[in-house]
Structure 1
Amino acid sequence: MRCSLRTPALLALGAAVLAACSVSTPDRQAARAPAVAEAPAPAPPPPPSASTYAPAAPRSVTVTGSSIAAPQAMLKRAPAPGYLIIAPPQADKFPDKEANATQLVAEHPVSTFSADVDTASYAFVRRQLTGGRLPPPGAVRVEEMVNYFPYRYAAPTTRNAPFAVTTEVMPSPWRAGNQLLHVAVRGFDLAQAERPPLNLVLLIDVSGSMGGPDRLPLLQQGLRLFAESLRENDRVSIVTYANGTEVALEPTLGRDKQKIVDALDGLRAAGGTAGGDGLQRAYALAERHRDPKAVNRVILATDGDFNIGITDPKQLERFIADKRKSGVYLSVFGVGTGNLNDALIQRLTQSGNGNAAYIDSLLEARKAMQEELGSTMFPIANDVKMQVEFNPKQVAAYRLIGYETRMLARQDFKDDKVDAGDMGAGHTVTAIYEITPASEAGKLVDPLRYGDGKKAAPAAKGEELCFVKVRYKLPGQGASRETAHAVRAASVRKAFDAASEDARFAVAVAAFGQRLRGEAPVADYSYADIASLANEARGKDAEGYRAEFVRLVRMAESLGKTNPVGQP
């Protein structure tokens, strides 16, 4: 909210608001109403001025990191000319990770990371751009933007070998001489009749910060669509949390959809944020009704702002990781902006073998909660890890684009105790490397005076560019399996346009994400170049996702020219 201050009429009101802000969190709700009610009312202001007031006032104001409800009278009344407009600080929290650096193959020939099928970053970036703001760089996770889109990758043919791996290598559009390695993994899709029943606990944040129309009301709309998708033998419970926790719906079969919808419609937002306590109660409920033949999962819907009970992120991670061993997984739907704790949401999701989505509109709610129900709810593999070994005879250096929060040590690949991402039925994962061919090595570093002392690759493998491995566990199994794919130097496309539409579009999205983050490799590659790249690779776009992406690139281009204050 924009705070309006004019002397002397509002001095008492300002003092009352500051007093309310100083109250400790559990008591803040009770302190607000009297503080505002007892303040003397200012004289009616003159008509609003377009130059000093934006009518779309938010419903909360951020004060030193805490969210307090705004008095309704202040929401409805525009300030008069001469008022001081104070924009609230941005309190959203995102993982703080530097972009992956270029690695010399002679020194670090192997790249290892956990598979990621989250999509939250793309939806948040879209919300910022459509709202007229460039997103903060920390909010942009390139792999989540790339993996937001559906791709027509080759599918596996059997459930026992649940992954198909395909690769393409093409010239880099933003750096002459470099190449891009596009790695595509597609999971086996379960037929409707083969999908196990669901045992789900919806853990819904109903604290005061969830009161805005883009938070709890939006979730309620989306979860109604979710309820319509339930099958008769699916089972759903609802737990809510604010100052405390409450079971809003005992386990209910999917055939009783109206009872589920009525429970959702009855939710109201007020109070603090006892998220840790809510997680404990939700997991206890899920475990009590756990079905070994079903998909057992807690779905947390929140802005991520935990401030009562268990709030230490490491303690929450340990709790969720321990519960994961019992076969109960965690997924998260994030909402809101201004106090979105995306960093915490990411940590919890990665600990709980789940996926994270950000709901910025009813269309996104429909996509995440209804259309993609199969791929997100029905796991086909756990602890999915990817590893690429580059041949120094063919590749001088490489750089993995994105996945900064998913990097693993080389030895983690074979360590079955190391947690990694899980993949659902029909999911696709895309990874893109920028590589420098061995012929271009002189542009990076001088050759070693005394040589590297390493053996050359065997002649039979010398023509391989790299070797891609995917390691995973089938659900319920403790031992991992592997699938592998060799990439030959002869497969490199002579021109970028010769690559498939899916690969070229994924590259355009990766370029956009890097540009929004301000990464040096694409500093000279313009938004116009990116839009052109994406437009030429749109292909069949039945839902319009790719057309929307091109519009977002154009928005970023316009915002970059106007350079809003405080934006990158």
Structure 2
Amino acid sequence: MDVAGAPRRFTGQYYEQGRDIFTDVDQNTFKAVGEEPVSTFSIDVDTASYGFVRASLNRNVLPTPDAVRTEEMVNYFRYKYPAPASREQPFSTTVNVFPSPWTEGRKLVRVGIKGYELPSASLPRANLVFLIDTSGSMNAPNKLPLVKQSMLMLLGRLDADDHVAIVTYAGNAGTALPPTPVREKARIAAVIETLGAGGSTAGAEGIRQAYELAAQNLDPDGVNRVILATDGDFNVGITNSEELKGYVEREREKGVLLSVLGFGMGNYNDALMQTLAQNGNGNAAYIDTINEARKTLLDEATSTLFPIAKDVKIQVEFNPATVAEYRLIGYETRMLKREDFENDKVDAGDVGSGQAVTALYEIVPVGGPRAFGERRYGTRITEAARGNDTEYGFVKIRYKRLDSPTSRLLSTPIDRTKEVASFDSAPRDARFATAVASFAELLRGGRYTGSMTYDDVLKILGKTRGDDAFGYRSEFDQLVRRAKTASSMARLGS
């Protein structure tokens, strides 16, 4: 499927919103536990959606609903989950159950996963290729100038023995800097400073050359990664998303990962950027301000650059004796088939050093307000389910060590000991995550949030901001307020 060219209009998977392109997905719906008790998805640590939503609201315009990925909004923030004790078991799991603020009688289940944080002294060497879009579409203050600032910032975070190369692409692609040790920082910075924008966008050729450079300098004991900085406006060479997807998948198997940093609005191709990052086993972030560059490339550089586990999958099985229905909130682009969980050939997300991931489910307890009417001939509840009526469900996590093709399993029950009787009694971070999810769901149309309003979100935020050393939660408060004033305006691209 062509994802570039003129006119930029698509049918099926991709469609046009102005000239920004997003994947068209259906929102997760409620599932009847008696018919579909198991929910399976790939982990997601991306945050690109939050940055794009913020950039839209800072222009006093509501984002198009498909730009809002609820899980990326929630996972933008840090939560105080207990850390795993050792690298041998690289994840800890936290489960909370509390009343849903959206519909009386329903409950929310928060599943929090915290990854092991590598000691700074034991971080592997980094072999990085900066792949920088210098085409004419990048000639804007919030594009190439911000890319250059971001790359210089990341350069300052690397160690002297790490290596950096630079590939640029416009009408054609070329190597601006061969692999160079970071101890030659002045030389690397000088190349970055001289970059200018102009021409068409031969992005696929740039990707090919970047992978080639990374392979030439491959460090078998280090982290080998291409970092693509672009607005995603590919219009020369391979522009078909399936071809690009296949290419980065093959390179991933050779040990080179791909991360994507998105910039700019107006012709931002989020759909292609998500495809590349997900299939390149890297993360996707959207850089709209220098503060966001600092967060992604300085404060969170370790988790951005250094993975601790690969192909991480989550599977939750709900107990029909206690749960009638459930809905996974977000993760629509990360859903897996039930059998994919056990299949080590199926790719899934990577988790970086110290990263935390949150998933939220809304559940309807047996006897609660269902989304579906009662069936005349209900599904039989097994004796095994009745015998575990203290459990709402069971969480399983599969992951692979970086040096192994075989997955390992972690599991924990969702039992009533994890439950509190009122929303206000839930852990503060759980309530804050709910506020973020509520906001995201409202931006998507509010199909499942009942009578919840932006003012209700602000009330929750007023009690859950907590320790906010970097001001991210305060900034979120301001975004909610901006959405209130922007709600009467046309959505971006309409």
Provide TM-score, normalisation by structure 1.
0.83
CA distance in 2, matches of 1:557, 1:222: 31
CA distance in 2, matches of 1:228, 1:361: 18
Classify the secondary structure of the residue corresponding to 1:298.
strand
Cα distance change of structure 1 residues 189 and 121 upon mapping to structure 2, 3 Å threshold: same
CA distance in 2, matches of 1:271, 1:261: 23
Matched, 1:417 2:345: yes
Shift of 1:490: 4.0
Q: Which residue of 2 aligns with 1:311?
A: 239
Q: Which residue of 2 aligns with 1:139?
A: 67
Shift of 1:519: 3.1
Contact 1:99–1:519 at 8 Å: present in 2 too?
A: no
Shift of 1:89: 7.4
Cα distance change of structure 1 residues 257 and 120 upon mapping to structure 2, 3 Å threshold: same
- Structure 2: state its 5+ residue gaps: 10-15
1:106 aligned to which of 30, 34, 46? 34
Matched, 1:242 2:173: no
CA distance in 2, matches of 1:330, 1:457: 45
Q: Which residue of 2 aligns with 1:37?
A: none
Classify the secondary structure of the residue corresponding to 1:430.
strand
1:452 aligned to which of 351, 371, 379? 379
Contact 1:300–1:330 at 8 Å: present in 2 too?
A: yes
Matched, 1:343 2:268: no
Contact 2:33–2:320 at 8 Å: present in 1 too?
A: yes
Q: Which residue of 2 aligns with 1:532?
A: 459
CA distance in 1, matches of 2:58, 2:296: 19
Matches within 5 A, 1:42-81: 64-65=7-8
Cα distance change of structure 1 residues 390 and 344 upon mapping to structure 2, 3 Å threshold: same
Cα distance change of structure 1 residues 209 and 143 upon mapping to structure 2, 3 Å threshold: same
CA distance in 1, matches of 2:455, 2:43: 31
CA distance in 1, matches of 2:492, 2:153: 38
1:315-365 CA-to-partner distances (Å, cap 9, x unmatched) read 000000011001100000000100000000001111000000000001101
1:217 aligned to which of 132, 142, 145? 145
CA distance in 2, matches of 1:443, 1:115: 27
Q: Which residue of 1 aligns with 2:254?
A: 326
Shift of 1:151: 1.1
CA distance in 1, matches of 2:370, 2:169: 59
Classify the secondary structure of the residue corresponding to 2:368.
helix
CA distance in 2, matches of 1:461, 1:559: 48
CA distance in 2, matches of 1:331, 1:402: 21
Task: State the one-letter code of the partner of 1:401.
Answer: I
Contact 2:313–2:349 at 8 Å: present in 1 too?
A: yes
Task: State the one-letter code of the partner of 1:163.
Answer: F
Classify the secondary structure of the residue corresponding to 1:439.
coil
1:398 aligned to which of 326, 339, 354? 326
CA distance in 1, matches of 2:281, 2:44: 10
CA distance in 2, matches of 1:280, 1:239: 10
Shift of 1:93: 0.3
1:203 aligned to which of 125, 128, 131? 131
Shift of 1:371: 1.4
Classify the secondary structure of the residue corresponding to 2:77.
coil
Matched, 1:558 2:489: no
CA distance in 1, matches of 2:309, 2:17: 41
Shift of 1:174: 1.4
Shift of 1:491: 2.8
Contact 2:63–2:492 at 8 Å: present in 1 too?
A: no
Matched, 1:171 2:99: yes
Classify the secondary structure of the residue corresponding to 2:274.
helix
Q: Which residue of 2 aligns with 1:194?
A: 122
Contact 2:56–2:492 at 8 Å: present in 1 too?
A: no
CA distance in 1, matches of 2:415, 2:482: 39
Contact 1:468–1:487 at 8 Å: present in 2 too?
A: yes
Matched, 1:381 2:309: yes
Shift of 1:369: 1.4
Contact 1:393–1:457 at 8 Å: present in 2 too?
A: no
Matched, 1:504 2:431: yes
Contact 2:25–2:332 at 8 Å: present in 1 too?
A: yes
Deviates more, 1:490-499 or 1:348-357: 490-499
Contact 1:515–1:523 at 8 Å: present in 2 too?
A: no
Q: Report the identity percentage.
A: 48
1:474-494 CA-to-partner distances (Å, cap 9, x unmatched) read 002100001001111343210
Task: State the one-letter code of the partner of 1:155.
Answer: A
Contact 2:62–2:492 at 8 Å: present in 1 too?
A: no
Structure with the larger RCO, 1 or 2 (CA within 8 Å, 6+ apart)? 2
CA distance in 2, matches of 1:445, 1:102: 12
Q: Which residue of 1 aligns with 2:362?
A: 434
Matches within 5 A, 1:284-295: 284-295=212-223
Q: Which residue of 1 aligns with 2:12?
A: none
Classify the secondary structure of the residue corresponding to 1:118.
coil
Q: Which residue of 2 aligns with 1:514?
A: 441
Matched, 1:549 2:476: yes
Q: Which residue of 1 aligns with 2:299?
A: 371
Cα distance change of structure 1 residues 565 and 329 upon mapping to structure 2, 3 Å threshold: closer
Classify the secondary structure of the residue corresponding to 1:310.
coil
The ranges of structure 1 where at least 4 consecutive aligned residues each deviate by more than 6 angstroms after the TM superposition are 565-568
Task: State the one-letter code of the partner of 2:122.
Answer: E
Cα distance change of structure 1 residues 338 and 443 upon mapping to structure 2, 3 Å threshold: closer
1:263-316 CA-to-partner distances (Å, cap 9, x unmatched) read 100111011111111111100110111010110000000000111011110000
CA distance in 2, matches of 1:383, 1:464: 27
Q: Which residue of 2 aligns with 1:492?
A: 419
Shift of 1:144: 0.3
Q: Which residue of 2 aligns with 1:464?
A: 391
Task: State the one-letter code of the partner of 1:484.
Answer: S
* Higher-Rg member (1/2): 1
Classify the secondary structure of the residue corresponding to 1:122.
helix
TM-align CA RMSD: 1.7
Task: State the one-letter code of the partner of 1:126.
Answer: R
Matches within 5 A, 1:474-485: 474-485=401-412
Shift of 1:563: 3.1
Classify the secondary structure of the residue corresponding to 1:461.
coil
Q: Which residue of 2 aligns with 1:8?
A: none
CA distance in 2, matches of 1:399, 1:327: 36
1:86-107 CA-to-partner distances (Å, cap 9, x unmatched) read xx97110011101001000000
Shift of 1:546: 0.5
Classify the secondary structure of the residue corresponding to 1:522.
coil
Shift of 1:441: 6.0
Contact 1:133–1:567 at 8 Å: present in 2 too?
A: no
1:485-511 CA-to-partner distances (Å, cap 9, x unmatched) read 111134321000111111110000000
Contact 2:21–2:268 at 8 Å: present in 1 too?
A: yes
CA distance in 1, matches of 2:371, 2:247: 49
Classify the secondary structure of the residue corresponding to 2:95.
strand
1:408-438 CA-to-partner distances (Å, cap 9, x unmatched) read 0000000000000000000000000000001
2:227 aligned to which of 296, 299, 320? 299
